[in-house]
Amino acid sequence: MQQTFNFGHFIPISTVDWHGRSVSVIFFRGCQLRCPYCQNHAYITGSSEMDIEDMKSQISKTKPFISAVVFSGGEPTLQRDALIELAGFARSGSLAVGLETNGFGADVVMEMLDKGLLDKVFLDVKAPLDEPKQYAIVTGLNVDAGSKAAKNTAMTLDKCIRAGIELEVRTTVFRGLVGAKDIRKISQYLDECDCGNLTYAVQQGLSDNTLDMKDTEKFSRQEVLDMATAIKPVNLKDIRIRTIENGEERIV
C-alpha cells in the first residue's frame, strides 16, 4: 500500500464547503490544469509528502465535530491510490465523502462511484464543453489537452448524473475569459441532462489571489446575478450565485 501522498493543506472544520454540513477539507497538491484565475495556485505544483496514516489520525481526531470529509486541491483524482484509501477510511468511520474535481480524472471518479465511495461531487465546468479551443484557454492548456479536459469533464458529469448522487456543477466567471454567453451555453447543456439532483452555481472569480490576473476587474454581484437570472431552466431546479458582496444566493 502507498505510504504517503502529496499534501497541500488540511482544514479540520469548515461549515462553508458543503451546505448544511460541518466537514474536514483535505487539499491534495498537484493539478494538470493551469487556469489563469486559479485561487489555489499554491497547491498546483511542488512536493510535500504526508503519511497517509497521519492524515487518517487527523480525520479521527476531528470526527466528533464533522459529518463528512471533502477532498479538494489541486486535483485529488491525480493521486488515485491515496484518494481511494482516505475516502474508504472516512466511509468506514460513517463519514460522508465529497469530492471537488476539475473532471479530468473521469476514470477515478467512475471507480469511486462504482465502489460506493462518493456521496457528493462538486464539479467544475469551466467553459462550454463543446468548445475545446475555449476550454483550452480557460484551463491554460494547449488545444489537444484542453479538448481532452472538456471531453473528460463531460464524461465525469454524465457518470455522476447516472449514479444519481448529489452533484454541484460550478462555473467561475471572469472578465475576458468566461462570461454571460458561456453561462447561457453551459446552463443549456446542463438543462438538457436528466438532472434532478443537480445544483448549478455561478461563481464570481476574484482577481486579487490570482498569479497573473490581478489587474482584471471582477464582475460585480449585479453582473453575476444578471448572468444567472438570464438562464431559463426547464429541468434545472437549483441555481445559485456566489459573490464576495453577498455570499451565496439561490436564484431558482
Contact flag: residue 75 with ligand SF4 (CB under 6 A): yes
In the set 25, 26, 31, 55, which binds ligand SF4 (CB under 6 A)? 31
Region from 9-17, 70-78, 91-99, 176-184 binding ligand SF4, contact rule CB under 6 A: 70-78
Say which residues have a Cβ less than 8 Å from residue 246's Cβ, sequence separation at least 6: 221
In the set 24, 68, 73, 128, which binds ligand SF4 (CB under 6 A)? 73
Measure the CA–CA gap between 26 and 86, rounded to whole angstroms: 10
Site residues (CB under 6 A) for ligand SF4, limited to 33-52: 33-35, 38, 40, 44
Q: Report phi then psi at 119, rounded to 5.
A: -105, -30
Q: Which residue type sits at 172?
A: T
Site residues (CB under 6 A) for ligand SF4, limited to 145-184: none
In the set 6, 77, 79, 102, which binds ligand SF4 (CB under 6 A)? 102
Region from 31-39, 154-162, 187-195, 230-238 binding ligand SF4, contact rule CB under 6 A: 31-39
For ligand SF4, give the closer residue by CB, 79 or 102. Answer: 102
Range 44-62 burial, b when 16+ CB lie within 10 A, else e: beeeeebebeebbeebeeb
Closest CA relative to residue 161, chosen from 191, 195, 123: 195
Q: Cell digits for 88? A: 474508504
| Count of residues touching ligand SF4 (by CB under 6 A) | 11
The residue to which cell 494538470 is assigned: 32
DSSP-assigned letters across all residues of 124-165: E--S-TT-HHHHHHHHT--HHHHHHHHHHHHHHHHHHHHHT-
Measure the CA–CA gap between 238 and 201, rounded to whole angstroms: 8
For ligand SF4, give the closer residue by CB, 127 or 231. Answer: 127
Contact flag: residue 112 with ligand SF4 (CB under 6 A): no
For ligand SF4, give the closer residue by CB, 89 or 104. Answer: 104
Sites of contact with ligand SF4 (CB under 6 A): 31, 33-35, 38, 40, 44, 73-75, 102
